Structure 1
Amino acid sequence: MAVAKLSLPTLTTMVVGSMVGAGVFSLPSRFAAHTGVAGALIAWAVAGTGMLMLAFVFQTLAVRRPDLDAGVYAYAKAGFGEYLGFFSAFGYWASACVGNVTYWVLIMSTAGAVVPALGDGDTVLAVALSSVGLWLFFLLIRRGVKEAAAVNRIVTVAKVVPIIVFVLLALFYLDPQVFADNFAGADYAGSLFHQVKGTMLITVFVFLGVEGASVYSRHARRREDVGRATVLGFLSVFAIFASVTIVSYGLLPMGEIDRLRQPSMAGVLEYAVGTWGKVFVSVGLIVSVLGAYLAWTLMAAEVLFVAAKDDDMPRFLKRSTAADVPVPALVMSTLLSQVFLIVTLFSDDAFDFALDLTSALTLIPFLLAAAFAVRVALAGRRDRARAAAASGPGARGGAGPPT
C-alpha cells in the first residue's frame, strides 16, 4: 500500500489549517476579558517566543530523527519509554477530539444569532446538527487522505482571506483615543502580571496545530519539508493572531468587547462597518472552522494509527484502506468527539469548557516533545566530543606529541 506523499505547500497549509480555526474568531473578547493592549503585547511576545521555540523543536527533530513518525507521540516514546509514549498519544488524541467540539459549538453559536433554537451551540438541536456534521466529515475523509489534504489546502486559503480583510478594515476605522484608553487595561483586569497570566491558556489553544506537519511526517515528500512547513506555518499564523487581537482594541472599549457574543470578531466588525461586517466574518468563520476540523480529524486519526502500528494502541486501530485511510482510528476519533458534544449539553459555557480542556490536555505532549529534543541535543554533543577525542593528537593512530 502506497503512502500518499504531500508537498511543502500542502504540509504548510496543514499547519495553518489546523491552527487557524475557531480560536482566532474568539480572540477579541477572550483577550478583552483579561487584559488591555499592553498586556496583550506582552502575552503575544511570551507565547509567540515559546511557540516559536517549539516550532524549532519540531523542525530539528524532523531532521535529526527522520525515523520517527507522528511527531508528538513518537518523540515522547523514543525519549521516555512506552508508558509515557502511550499517555502522550492518548492525551494528544483526546485533545484533538475535544478541540474539534469547539468548532461545532462555535458554528452553531454563530448560526444561533439567526436561529435562536441553536442558542450558544449547546442546545439539543445544536448538538444534533453538529453530530450530523461529524459523520459527514467522517465519510469525506474516508475517501482518501490525499483528497482530504487537497480540500484542506483550498479551504485554508479561503479562510485566511476574511481574517486579513478584518485586520485591514479595523486599521482603517481604528480610533486612536479608544486604543489609548484600552492600553493599560480596564479596572476589572487587575495588575499587568495578572492580565498576562489570564491569557496564557488562550494563547496555548490558538497555537495548537503548530505540530501539524510533524504529525503527518510519514506522508511528507521530503523529510526536511516537515520542519520548513512548521516554521513557515507558525510565523504566518502568529502575525494573523496578534494583529486580530491588537486592532480590535482600537474600535471598542474593553468592557464592550468582553460582552460581545461569540464569535466576537463579528461583533467588532459589525460596530465598525455595519451588519454586513458581521455576516462577512460569520461566513469566514464557518469556512475556517470546517477546514480546521478537517485538518484536526486527520491528525487525531493519524496519531492513533501510528501508535497502533507501534503496538502502543489496540491492534485493530492499525488497519487502513487502500486509499491510506486508517478507518478504525477515524471511527474512534469521531466517536470521542461525539461523546464530548453530548457533554456540552451539561456545561455552563460549552465553548470555554472545550477550549480550556483542549489546552490542558495538549501541554504534557508538548512538554515531552521538547524534553526529547533536549536529550537529542545533549546526545549529539556527547557524540561530537567523543569523535573529537578519538581523532585528537593522542588518539590511536594519531601522530602523538613529539618526543
Structure 2
Amino acid sequence: MIPLGFRVGDLLPSERCAAGAVLATGWQPDTYDAWRARRAADPLDENFPAVPARRAAAPPDRTEADFAAWTAAADADGWALDDQLVAPGLVALAVPVRDPDGRPVCAISVLAHTSRHSGDELREHALATMEEEALHIADELYGTSKAAAAPPAAPAYADAKPELGPSFLQALARGLAALTALGRQHGGLTLAEAAEASGLSYPSTRRNLLTLSQLGYVEQRGRRFLPSPRVLELGYARLSTLTLADIAQLHLTELAGLVRESASLAVLDGAEVRYVARAATEQITSARITPGTRLPAYATSMGRVLLADLPEADRLEQIQTLRPQALTPHTLTSLDALAAALDRAAEKGYALVEQELEAGLRSLAVPVRDRSGRAVGAVNVALHAGPEPPEHTLDAVLPALRACAARIESDLAVASAGAPVQTG
C-alpha cells in the first residue's frame, strides 16, 4: 500500500517532488552548493525515510541539468508537477506562496494516486483553487490587502485593579497587552500603533516595550517594534512538560465521542503494551482498563502495530521470546501465525484483533509516529465484536482512527521540536 501523504517533519529530496522544484526557483548559489553536497553524500536518497530509496543501478531521477530545467519551467509557469518521482503511483502538484518581493517562502502541494488522476487531470482539477489559496495565505502572512487596517485592540485592563483587588498586577497585564499587540501585525508596530492596538497610553506603551526589549522579548527595527524569537520560550516552557499522554488525551476524547467507542493510547514495554491514556465510553470488557494497565502485546491490536514497527531482526527476536497462551479459543499462539500477523500489520499500517484477548472484544489500532517516523505509541478503538463483520469496523472506524493518530503526530512534532517528549 502506498501512502497518499507524508507526516509533519518529513524530509523529501527537492529534485523528486513538485514542492522542491517550486521552492528551488528562489534558491541562492549557496543553497545549490548545499544541494550538490547532499546529493554527492547520499546518491541513493537513503537518508530520506519518507520516500523509497533509489536502486544502486538506477540513474538519478533528476540530473542537475534536468532539475535546473524543471525549476525554470516552474518559475515560468508558476507551478510544478511531479509524476511518480517521489514514489511510484503518486502524482503531486505544487504552487508557491510568495512574499511581497515575489520570492517563494513555502509551497502548497496536493497529492493524488494515479488510479484517480493523471498529472494533467490533477492540474486541471486543482490548480486554480491552489493558486487562489496561495494568494490567501500570502495575504495572511504579509497583510497585502490589510495594510491600511488597524490591528484589533488588545485589552489594556486599565480599570481592572479596583475590580480585581490588590493581587492583580496591572503592570504585568499591560506588558502582556503590549506584547500581544505586536504579534497581531506582520512587520511589527510603531509606538503609536502599538498604543492604539493595546489600548494603552503612549507613555505606558513606550515603557512596556522598552522593558520587554531589555528582557529580550521584543526587537526594535527602526521605528517599529516586533516580538523576538525569545517569546517562543514562553510556549516551549509548557511544551517541555508535556507527555505523549497529555498530547493525546484531547484527541482520544474526540475520537471516542465520534465513534462512540472507547479509545486508548499505549506504548510497547518489552513483551507487553502499557496503557498511558484512555477515553472510555461504556466498558465492554470484563476488566477495567486504566492508564498503567499492561496486556500481552501478542494478543492486542496496539501490541501488534508496535511490534510490527520494529526492525525485522528485532521483530523476529521478540517473537522468539514470546510464550503466547490461548486467552480465548481465537488467540494466535503459533509463532509463525504471529509473524504473519505482524507482517500484515506492517504492510497495511493497522492491526485488527478479533476476540483474541477477550471473547466478544474486537480491537483496531494504528501506530503513532514521532518526527523520525518511529512508532512511539499506538492508538486503538475497542468495541464489541457483535454481528457485524470486521470489514464493517474497518470502513466505519479506520478513517477516524487514522485521522486521530495524524493529529497526535502533528502535535507531537511541534512539542518535540525543542526537546524529546516523554512517551512512557
Same fold (TM over 0.5): no
TM-score (norm 2): 0.20
Q: Which of the pair is proportionally richer in strand? A: 2
Q: Which of the pair is proportionally richer in helix? A: 1
Structure with max Cα Rg: 2
TM-score (norm 1): 0.20
Bigger relative contact order, structure 1 or 2, given CA contacts below 8 A and separation 6+?
1
